[in-house]
Every structure is written in C-alpha cells, then in structure tokens.
C-alpha cells in the first residue's frame, strides 16, 4: 500500500515537472515572438536625427542698425556697415561655447603680422577657455584652432536676409542691399 502511494506521488511529481517545463518553453516561445514583433515595429520608425535648418531668414535689412547684432537663437553675429552686411559664427572653434562681443570705444589699436597699424571697434571673446578673435574672426589668443567662419548671406524674394550656415565665405564677402 505504501509503495502504491509513493509511486502515485512520483507520477504526480513527474506530471507537474512536465507541465512546468512546457509552461517554461511556452513562455520562451511567446517571448521570442514578442521580441520579433518589437523589432519589426521599431524598423517602421527609422532613427532620424532632426537638426536645425542650415538656411533661415534673419529679418529685413531695416531691422539691423549699424554695427554688430547678436542673434542668440542662431548663435551668430550680423554686422552692418552702411548697406553692406556680413555674418560671423558665434560658435567658438575650440569646444563650441558661444563667444561674447567685446566692443571698444575708442577703437583698439594693434599691429598686424605685416606690421601695419589696425584699429577695431569690436572683437569676440570666448568665456570658456579664453580664446580671442579679431573683428574678422581670426584667432589671436587662446586654444581655438581656427577662425570663426563667415556664413553666406542672400536676399529672399520677400526682401528678408537669409543666412546659409552650410556655406562658408571669404572675409571679403558682403551682402549689398
């Protein structure tokens, strides 16, 4: 009688072990399907990096008084000299901090590499590691490896000025309006 009971218990243990194993394998299969479904869904939404546009309107020429105006939303400077405009990046070429405008009155005098006397009314100074840029964006102090780039400007059909940060121009570039 005792042997029969033990045998019965063994059979029950075997059945519950089999059931457990079949549940477990069912779970693994369901998990596999779920993962595949998730991967398929993810592939429907490609990874895209949305970057700000590289061409944008900055306003009418009349919005800009004579001199330098900083546009913080675009991190650049628009410089007006009579009816001629140019645009210089405000992004430090060292590690990307935004440079500050330093204005001088009376103008600051210095001697260029070629020995000629130059006077300027403003410069750009980086607050992060002390790089300093001349009026034309050339570096003269600090760790910045390159000058501040100048961006191409043009006039849109509605008369607004457009800056194209994708196109760098030489220091003799001017937009005449």
If one asks whether residue 126 binds ligand FES (CB under 6 A), the answer comes out as yes
Residue 55 near residue 164 (C-beta atoms within 8 A): yes
Among 56, 62, 122, 61, CA closest to 86:
61
If one asks whether residue 97 binds ligand FES (CB under 6 A), the answer comes out as yes
Please provide residue 60's backbone torsions phi and psi, each rounded to the nearest 5 degrees: -75, 150
Candidate ranges 39-47, 77-85, 141-149, 161-169; the one touching ligand FES (CB under 6 A): 141-149
96: alpha, beta or left, given left = phi > 0 and alpha = psi -120 to 50? left
If one asks whether residue 102 binds ligand FES (CB under 6 A), the answer comes out as no
If one asks whether residue 134 binds ligand FES (CB under 6 A), the answer comes out as no
Give SS3 for 44.
Answer: coil
**Token pair in block for residue 159:** 């008369």
Count of positions on this chain that bind ligand FES (CB under 6 A): 12
Toward ligand FES, which CB reaches closer, 91 or 118? 91
If one asks whether residue 161 binds ligand FES (CB under 6 A), the answer comes out as no
Toward ligand FES, which CB reaches closer, 64 or 150? 150
Q: Which of 128, 162, 169, 177 binds ligand FES (CB under 6 A)?
A: 128
Please provide residue 163's backbone torsions phi and psi, each rounded to the nearest 5 degrees: -110, 135
Residue 130 near residue 92 (C-beta atoms within 8 A): no
Binding mask 22-61 for ligand FES (x = CB under 6 A): ----------------------------------------
Residue 93 near residue 139 (C-beta atoms within 8 A): yes
Which residues bind to ligand FES, rule: CB under 6 A? 92, 94-95, 97, 126, 128-131, 142-144
């Amino acid at each position: 009688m005792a042997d029969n009971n033990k045998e019965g218990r063994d059979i029950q243990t075997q059945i519950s072990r089999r059931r457990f194993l079949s549940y477990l394998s069912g779970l693994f299969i369901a998990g596999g399907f779920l993962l595949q479904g998730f991967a398929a869904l993810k592939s429907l939404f490609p990874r895209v990096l949305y970057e700000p546009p590289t061409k944008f309107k900055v306003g009418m020429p009349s919005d800009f008084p004579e001199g330098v105006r900083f546009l913080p939303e675009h991190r650049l400077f628009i410089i007006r000299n009579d009816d001629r405009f140019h645009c210089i990046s405000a992004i430090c070429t060292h590690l990307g901090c935004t440079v500050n405008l330093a204005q001088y009155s009376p103008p600051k005098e210095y001697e260029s590499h070629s020995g000629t006397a130059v006077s300027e009314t403003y410069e750009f100074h980086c607050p992060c590691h002390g790089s300093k840029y001349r009026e034309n964006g050339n570096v003269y102090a600090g760790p910045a490896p390159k000058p501040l780039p100048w961006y191409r400007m043009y006039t849109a059909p509605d008369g607004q000025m457009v800056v194209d940060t994708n196109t760098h121009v030489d220091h003799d570039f001017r937009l005449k309006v």
